[in-house]
Structure 1
Amino acid sequence: MSALPIRAAVRSDGAFLADMTVEAATWRAGAVRPRHEVLSSPEHSRYIAGWMRPGDAGFVAESPTGEPVGAAWYRMLPRDEPGFGWVGTGVPELIIGVRPVWRAHGTGRALLQRLVDHARTQGFARISLSVERDNYAVSLYRSEGFAVVRRGIGRDAMVKRLR
């Protein structure tokens, strides 16, 4: 488990969440996709545009020096503008990103657990995400109780029941 401090995300974390959206979109080693290209695409910008809207919640992990190194957050996306992992109205979709040097040290797991616990306390029955099938994070999600509910082309929507 990560020993890094984790704090609630605030409105001013929007730019960092954008960075983490880019990390999530370019998780493969050697993947190069310009930041502006990722963030200008509607598929990715919907996860951060207008952060912090009503219903948004998230957490940020910080290094011992106080630098943000990872984040997990969720949004309530509408049926007419669904995210990759949209499974239904009233189900928050989570996004998670961790800087490469901090991966595989428990940072992502700690963020994920914190966000799931928060969603449960907010009364949600389920939480969803989307993951590319060859992403090593699939094993993390499975170990945390997420199950595939919809298969897509190269990516799957996964859900965790919270009650």
Structure 2
Amino acid sequence: MFLAIKTPRLVLRPIGMPFLESTHRYASDRAQTKYMMYLPNDTIDDTAAFLASADAQWAKPHPDCYEFAVLSGGVHIGAVSLYPDGKGGGELGWILAAEHCGMGYATEAACALARWAVSELGIKRIFATCDSENSASFRVMEKLGMERVSSREGRRNKSADRDSVELLYEVMTDENSFAAADTAVIRELKPEEYHLLEDFLYQAIFIPEGVQPPPREIIKRPELQVYVRDFGSEDDTALIASVDGQPAGMVWTRIMNDYGHIDDATPSFAISLHRRYRGRGIGTVMMECMLDILRRKGYERASLAVQKANYAVGMYKKVGFEIIGGNEEEYIMVCRLKGE
């Protein structure tokens, strides 16, 4: 399974081994983890074992738990998690590197994940626990609308030499819970949604300022049908972004003889956003997510073609593409997914 969530300031992406060093920095911080039951990690091998377990969960079609890296401006600053209890409830957890605390990031990340859990998993009860002395954590819970429902003796944090009191907070949810503006959910496109590819293919056609859009029938041309015809083979991958449950954008790759074709081992990109969702950073996150997926699949590079006048050229460079050729109107760009 693949899932990412973009909020106004943050991106939540599946955590795993690529985040080993950055995860270990906060997971081994004894001051930052003093109120936690399973941290600090004493060695980087402990952190690697946790990330390997998270990777294994994300490899499942339906994970038992959802562990995310939290990124701000592309920097890994912490983690947020959801553990469904099998009874309609879901337990939230979070941790941030010390230098990123006090900025509302934990609340923003946890709210976005809780919203997804309610809308997509049907979670009816969100809950979380913390040490009674961990005021920063229970303030986050209160900001999320949770109420304290119980306390119990006998909590033993990993680095503690005595028991403490554990607080339980919860909130019952409905379809309006945890509503957040300007949040996009990015996930794999389902086979029953492949028909949407043609809609986004039309949206992907670059139309210079002042030029009349072409008729929709243009996507039936053979040179454009190569992007979508018989989609679903082993080398075909697609992600869809939605905002408030409505399709907002799509990125897909396949090995095809398109404008950006390099060779028969290199997938080519197509990306499309509805106009009203442009300029929000959604396209950048979709591209970064797809590049991560292609790396994990073992591809060495990816390619695309883009018209020189297209504003997206800058975005492609930002995520790692470089110009390797082209003609009077278009650039051919390549992103190297493995080190030379």
TM over 0.5: yes
After superposition, residues 1-163 of structure 1 pair within 5 angstroms as: 2-3=6-7, 4-29=184-209, 31-37=212-218, 39-64=219-244, 66-77=245-256, 82-163=257-338
- For residues 316 and 226 of structure 2, the distance between their equivalents in structure 1, rounded to whole angstroms, comes to 22
Deviation at 1:27, TM superposition (A): 4.2
Partner amino acid, structure 2, of 1:28: P
Provide the alpha-carbon RMSD of the alignment.
1.5
Partner amino acid, structure 1, of 2:318: S
Query: Are 1:86 and 1:128, in contact at CA under 8 Å, matched by a contact in 2?
Result: yes
- For residues 70 and 149 of structure 1, the distance between their equivalents in structure 2, rounded to whole angstroms, comes to 27
SS in 1 for 2:324: strand
- For residues 250 and 309 of structure 2, the distance between their equivalents in structure 1, rounded to whole angstroms, comes to 21
Return the index of the structure with the highest Cα Rg: 2
Deviation at 1:44, TM superposition (A): 1.0
Which structure dedicates a bigger proportion of its chain to strand?
Answer: 2
- Per-residue deviation, residues 54-100 of structure 1 (Å, max 9, x unmatched): 21001000011x111100010111xxxx1000011200001000000
Deviation at 1:117, TM superposition (A): 0.5
- Per-residue deviation, residues 84-120 of structure 1 (Å, max 9, x unmatched): 0001120000100000000010111111111110000
Partner amino acid, structure 1, of 2:226: R
The normalised TM-score by structure 1 is 0.91
Structure 1 runs (4+) deviating above 6 angstroms are none
The normalised TM-score by structure 2 is 0.45
Query: Are 1:60 and 1:69, in contact at CA under 8 Å, matched by a contact in 2?
Result: yes
Tell me how many residue pairs correspond in the alignment. 157
Identity of aligned residues (%): 26
- For residues 291 and 276 of structure 2, the distance between their equivalents in structure 1, rounded to whole angstroms, comes to 24
Deviation at 1:52, TM superposition (A): 1.4
Query: Are 1:26 and 1:33, in contact at CA under 8 Å, matched by a contact in 2?
Result: no
- Per-residue deviation, residues 8-41 of structure 1 (Å, max 9, x unmatched): 012222221111111111443454111112x111
- For residues 31 and 122 of structure 1, the distance between their equivalents in structure 2, rounded to whole angstroms, comes to 40
Residues 2, 67 of structure 1: CA spacing in aligned structure 2 closer, same or farther, 3 A cutoff?
A: same
Task: Structure 2: give runs of 5+ residues left out of the alignment.
Answer: 8-183
